[in-house]
């Protein structure tokens, strides 16, 4: 559990982070979203003491971070940055081994861990491992950066615009990978982004920042359904709200008993995907599959549209 207690950071008397109090549950992914200069990176860096708060405290599992020597603290916390910051004179494998090396792990154990991580992140250890960063594609370099952050099995992972430099196709893949790895390992993640769509897609909760303050801290569905301030609504982009909300809810939630004609909707489809399929194939009832791939009911168009209204939002 991460607690920010009235944390502020002043630069030349101006607050980059202004009296932020937040509690992030263990094992969750919190997306911190806001425009550029709103203090996201500063907030993130106060967790691993790359930035020292001017006032307030940051606690990890109840312990004040200020009481742990910075180098020791940082080796326990994964850190991923936008330009990857890979060490250009080291191979991908050596980059991944950075923190285990600092911690003095035995060589064989480091080698095994590097292989394991490369496989988890779909990087071929024999082909990619010996390469230098300048010989990697953007997507590969990004994954090496994530592998390096995860190498010493941190319980907490800080990510500062980790997908900012990727093209849209690779970014989608990288986001899906992050979600998978995060669920699999139960890692607590704080992800900084300026992209609300990314925050909605990945966050268990979203903290919206503006001028160093938290405007709203809530689950994605709640942010979409009830933006706390005009700024939050602006970030969401008014026009897309219904679709954003529908893309969050599984279509299975509104399935009814019955049967319908035509190809089946896959089990994990969202309301948005159900509606798109209806528009594309000109149907107003779709059969929907269960986890085993067999039809379990039907989804009706008017139910989909009703579920897309904010007052019908989940929770």
Ligand X SMILES: Nc1ncnc2c1ncn2[C@@H]1O[C@H](COP(=O)(O)OP(=O)(O)O)[C@@H](O)[C@H]1O
The residues that touch Mg ion, with contacts defined as CB under 5 A, are 41
- How many other CB atoms sit within 10 Å of the CB of residue 309? 12
Structure tokens at 214: 């938290």
C-alpha–C-alpha distance, residues 10 and 114, integer Å: 39
* 78: β partners: 157
Regarding 48 and contact with ligand X (CB under 6 A), the answer is no
Going 138 to 141 to 142 to 143, the CA torsion angle's sign is positive
- Residue 42's binding partner among another protein, Mg ion, ligand X, none (Cβ under 5 to 8 angstroms by kind) is ligand X
Min. distance of Cβ 291 from ligand X in angstroms?
A: 40
By the 10 Å C-beta count (0-12 exposed, 13-18 middle, 19+ buried), 172 is classed as middle
Regarding 113 and contact with another protein (CB under 8 A), the answer is no
Which of 159, 152, 151 lies closest to 45, judged by CA?
A: 159
Regarding 48 and contact with another protein (CB under 8 A), the answer is yes
Residues 6+ apart with CB under 8 A from 299: 251, 254, 255, 256, 265, 274, 285, 286, 288
Regarding 270 and contact with another protein (CB under 8 A), the answer is no
Regarding 53 and contact with ligand X (CB under 6 A), the answer is no
Min. distance of Cβ 85 from another protein in angstroms?
A: 3
Regarding 41 and contact with ligand X (CB under 6 A), the answer is yes
Binding characters for ligand X, 2-31, by CB under 6 A (x = yes): ---------x----x---------------
Min. distance of Cβ 154 from another protein in angstroms?
A: 10
Segment holding 133, helix H or strand E = none
Min. distance of Cβ 28 from another protein in angstroms?
A: 22
Min. distance of Cβ 143 from Mg ion in angstroms?
A: 21
CA 69: distance to chain centroid?
Answer: 28
- Residue 34's binding partner among another protein, ligand X, Mg ion, none (Cβ under 5 to 8 angstroms by kind) is ligand X
Residues forming the site for ligand X (CB under 6 A): 11, 16, 34, 36-42
Residues forming the site for another protein (CB under 8 A): 48, 50, 70-76, 79, 81-89, 91, 98-99, 102, 132, 134, 148
């Amino acid at each position: 559990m991460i607690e920010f207690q009235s944390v502020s950071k002043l630069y030349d008397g101006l607050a980059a982070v202004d009296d932020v109090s937040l509690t992030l549950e263990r094992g969750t992914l919190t997306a911190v979203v806001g425009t550029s200069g709103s203090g996201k990176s500063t907030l993130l860096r106060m967790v691993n003491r790359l930035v020292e708060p001017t006032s307030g405290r940051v606690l990890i599992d109840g312990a004040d971070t200020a009481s742990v020597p910075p180098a020791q603290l940082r080796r326990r916390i994964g850190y991923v940055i936008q330009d990857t910051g890979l060490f250009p004179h080291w191979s991908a494998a050596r980059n991944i081994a950075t923190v285990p090396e600092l911690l003095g792990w035995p060589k064989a154990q480091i080698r095994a861990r590097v292989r394991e991580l490369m496989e988890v992140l779909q990087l071929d250890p024999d082909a990619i491992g010996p390469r230098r960063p300048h010989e990697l594609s953007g997507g590969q370099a990004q994954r090496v950066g994530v592998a390096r952050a995860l190498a010493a099995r941190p319980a907490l992972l800080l990510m500062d615009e980790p997908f900012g430099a990727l093209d849209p196709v690779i970014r989608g893949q990288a986001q899906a990978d992050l979600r998978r790895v995060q669920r699999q390992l139960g890692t607590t993640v704080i992800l900084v982004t300026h992209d609300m769509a990314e925050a909605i897609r990945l966050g268990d909760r979203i903290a919206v920042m503006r001028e160093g303050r938290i405007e709203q801290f809530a689950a994605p569905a709640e942010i979409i359904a009830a933006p706390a301030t005009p700024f939050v609504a602006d970030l969401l982009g008014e026009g897309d709200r219904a679709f954003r909300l529908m893309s969050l809810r599984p279509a299975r939630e509104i399935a009814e008993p019955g049967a319908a004609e035509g190809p089946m909707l896959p089990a994990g489809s969202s309301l948005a995907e159900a509606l798109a399929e209806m528009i594309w194939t000109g149907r107003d009832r779709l059969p929907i599959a269960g986890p085993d791939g067999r039809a379990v009911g039907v989804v009706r168009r008017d139910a989909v549209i009703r579920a897309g209204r904010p007052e019908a939002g989940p929770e």
